[in-house]
Amino acid sequence: MVTIKEVAHIAGVSIATVSRVLSNSDYPVSQQTRATILKVAGEVGYSPNRAARSLRTERSSLIGVILDNFSSQWAPVIVRGIQDVLLKKGYFTLVVNIPWEKHSRADVVKDLMGHSVDAFVFVETWYPVRERLDMINKKPYVIVHRLFHESDPHSIIPDETYNSSLVVKHLLDLGHEKVAYIAGDANYFSSSQRLGAYLDTMRAAGLGIRDGWIAQGEWCIPSGYQCAQRILSHVEMPSAIVAANDGLAYGALLAVLDAGLKVPDDIAIVGYDNNDISCISNPTITTVSLPLFLMGQIAAENLLCQLQTSDREYAEQLIPGELIVRQSCGAPEGVEVYARDFLRATAE
């Protein structure tokens, strides 16, 4: 690689001057020399040696991104949002996948510190890495998360309460009064938040909830199937089911269909997450989409802000989602919609 030395030699100036021009220092350099240096640097294809720069400045232009499940439907979108902002500012990201079980979690933080990353982003991984808090606290960081909740001012979180109420209200607007609920895994904070939003919305509308209408599920399709069966077996059947995520909703959909009922005519179903599953299933499932790309962008902006101004007051940010109306609660749509939805989901 061509070094600053060669550029300086060709341009007939000292390396200090070249450095000042090429690192956008605000040190005064005459327009004349500045121009020739830029010209020479461009011609010889100079690119600064990041290792040397990093060694000297103790900044690396590297951001560590630690996430739990890389091949989930959410993580990559968040990461792209993060990169969308950071790449433009000259930052690269070191994306590391920490499987939940692995004991190597703590080491990852240490290793990333070794690479002197300038900051951290934790996507759903705050809980397991807290044991390295002493290290992490030395750098700016942001937490992007959904399922767990530990109050931390650096957090960017979907507004679970608002989002869940969106989808319940939608059912009420359509005239439903007997609405059942399938909850997510009780260990997750978001489960209780979503359930709470359902309860509050029903109460605010003055609607009652029968005993067997709330089923405790576990985030997955079979669980949704079983929960729906339990709900359907209750003496007074609901006219609609709210599921805590799209997997549960899809399971419920299968159960309702298997019971010989029609969706949405006999029972309406809504989900949460805007998972692929909700726009591929037949009928497609009304759900709530989370602005994951945006959340990534916000996380990155937040980080840049921290990197520039060292001292600042932080506060949790709650990000609202968007209601996606599909067939499972009564909207009339054709096959083109499947496709459009699916393509949008995979393309952007």
Partner DNA sequence: CTTGACACAGTAAACGTTTTCTGATAGGGT
Partner DNA sequence: ACCCTATCAGAAAACGTTTACTGTGTCAAG
DSSP secondary-structure letter at 112?
H
Q: Which of 5, 88, 110, 340 binds DNA (CB under 7 A)?
A: 5
Q: Which residue has the tokens 């989901």?
A: 345
- CB of residue 26 to DNA, shortest distance in Å: 10
From DNA, a copy of itself, none, interface partner of 5 (C-beta below 5 to 8 A by class): DNA
Residue 2: how many other CB atoms lie within 10 Å: 14
| Kind plus residue range of the DSSP H or E element containing 38 | helix 31-44
Show the beta-strand stretches assigned E in the chain: 62-67, 92-97, 119-123, 141-144, 155-158, 179-183, 214-216, 240-243, 268-270, 287-289, 317-319, 322-324
Binding residues with DNA: total (CB under 7 A): 30
- Please, which residue, 79 or 329, has the CB nearer to a copy of itself? 79
- Please, which residue, 48 or 222, has the CB nearer to DNA? 48
What Cα–Cα distance (Å) separates residue 339 from each residue in 33, 271, 298, 333? 57, 19, 30, 11
The 3-state DSSP class for residue 270 equals strand
**Helix 221-232 to helix 246-258 angle, to the nearest 10 degrees?**
50
Residue 340: how many other CB atoms lie within 10 Å: 12
* DSSP alpha helix (H) spans, 174-245: 189-204, 221-232
Interaction site with a copy of itself (CB under 8 A): 1, 45, 47-52, 54-55, 60-62, 69-73, 75-77, 79-80, 83, 87, 90, 92-97, 110-116, 220-222, 225, 247, 250-251, 254, 258, 276-277, 280-282, 335-336, 338-339, 342-343, 346-347
Residues 54-93 that bind DNA (CB under 7 A): 55-57
CB of 174 closer than 8 Å to CB of 268: yes
- Please, which residue, 166 or 246, has the CB nearer to a copy of itself? 246
- CB of residue 12 to a copy of itself, shortest distance in Å: 24
- Please, which residue, 4 or 171, has the CB nearer to DNA? 4
- CB of residue 51 to a copy of itself, shortest distance in Å: 4
From DNA, a copy of itself, none, interface partner of 12 (C-beta below 5 to 8 A by class): DNA
Q: Which of 9, 38, 44, 48 binds DNA (CB under 7 A)?
A: 48
When asked if residue 115 is in the footprint of DNA (CB under 7 A), the reply is: no
207 phi, psi to nearest 5 deg: -100, 140
- Please, which residue, 19 or 281, has the CB nearer to a copy of itself? 281
Q: Which residues bind DNA (CB under 7 A)?
A: 1, 3-5, 12-17, 19-20, 22-23, 25, 27-30, 32-34, 46, 48-49, 52-53, 55-57
